Amino acid sequence: MFTVDRATIDSTGAFLVGELERMDQTLNMPLVSVKWSRDMPLRSDISIADEVSSFTNTDFASVGGPNPTGKNWMGKKGTATPGPELDITPTRNNLTPWASEVSWTVLELASAQQLGRPIDVQKYTAMKMKWNMDTDEQVYIGDEVLGVAGLLNLPDVTPLAAAAAWTATTDPDVILQDINLLLTDVWVRSGYAVCPAKIGLAPELFGLLTTKKVSSAGNISVLEYVKINCIAYQENGEPLDIVSIKWASKRGAGGSHRIVAYTQDEQYVRFPMVPLLNTPLEYRGMQQLSVYYGKLGQVEAPYSNTISYLDVPAS
């Protein structure tokens, strides 16, 4: 006996339509927000053959002339000339394979083509969505199973604490002071070499900064006020880039919202990834399939002192 179950019908998009029913042919895909490509530079030298991504950090040491802690002065007849010494430390991170099989039967394909809903394209779209969702999570918070961290929970970065929760009644200058505290932390720890050019914060905080006005006159939002009145604008000559990150919501200590300050440059922070590849289309009886695969690493921060966190209590 030939039967068609509900799963088979749903997979091809075939449904009974009544005479007075108007079926909208638009394919309404799941709503998903992925922003990793906006916030994270990719490491450009990774290939599918690599199993580990690594980098090194170099420390310099050099003694002075007459004063070992001073400058390298020497006399005209000096014969002993000090020089620099190096200490090079490697850091290695695994590149983990990722794969997903996209398959359909020739019967499903024929039915979907007749309905004008190509199942092969839809399954490919679903696979790409899963790839981007997994990458998004890996970039921002890492993976508990693999024991790796992301941009928002790097173990080398100690979070700062805001004075109090940000609310609709919080003075804009208090918010500015908290953000300047975050930016200054990086600036000082990097030896005043790098002042962060970007911060990412929880959507709750981003929404507050966008809607809250600096004054009752309503001439400018706190978001725009902070961009041009923080130390990053004065130091870098460009307004601070402020974006919302969904993963930062209640990511801090005690369920607080987390803010991350960093400079979006491959030199300071990057993500090693091998973009998706696929095997040739394979035929197995009535089934057609192709395997899509890539590799995901973990966020690399060669200069972890150019990243800082601020935890703001959830209101």
The model's pLDDT over 231-278, given as tens digits with 9 standing for 90+, comes to 999 999 999 999 999 999 999 999 999 999 999 999 999 999 999 999
Name 29's Cβ contacts closer than 8 Å, sequence gap at least 6. Answer: 125, 129
Length of the chain, in residues: 315
Contact (Cβ atoms closer than 8 angstroms) between residue 230 and residue 191: no
**What are the structural domain ranges in the chain?**
1-51+96-315, 52-93
Tell me how far apart the alpha carbons of residues 49 and 262 are, in angstroms, rounded to a whole number.
30
Helix (H, G, I), strand (E, B) or coil at 106: helix
CA-CA-CA-CA torsion sign (17, 18, 19, 24): negative
Fold of 1-51+96-315: hypothetical protein PF0899 fold (3.30.2320)
Tell me how far apart the alpha carbons of residues 182 and 205 are, in angstroms, rounded to a whole number.
15
The stretch 123-142 carries a mean pLDDT of 95
For residue 17, the model assigns a pLDDT of 73
pTM: 0.87
pLDDT tens-place string over residues 1-41: 444 455 555 566 677 777 777 777 777 778 889 999 999 99
Name 217's Cβ contacts closer than 8 Å, sequence gap at least 6. Answer: none
How far is CA 152 from each of CA 22, 149, 189, 311, rounded to the nearest angstrom? 47, 8, 18, 11
Question: In the predicted model, is pLDDT for residue 90 greater than 50?
Answer: yes
Ramachandran area for residue 147 (φ above 0: left; ψ -120 to 50: alpha; else beta): left
Tell me how far apart the alpha carbons of residues 8 and 260 are, in angstroms, rounded to a whole number.
46
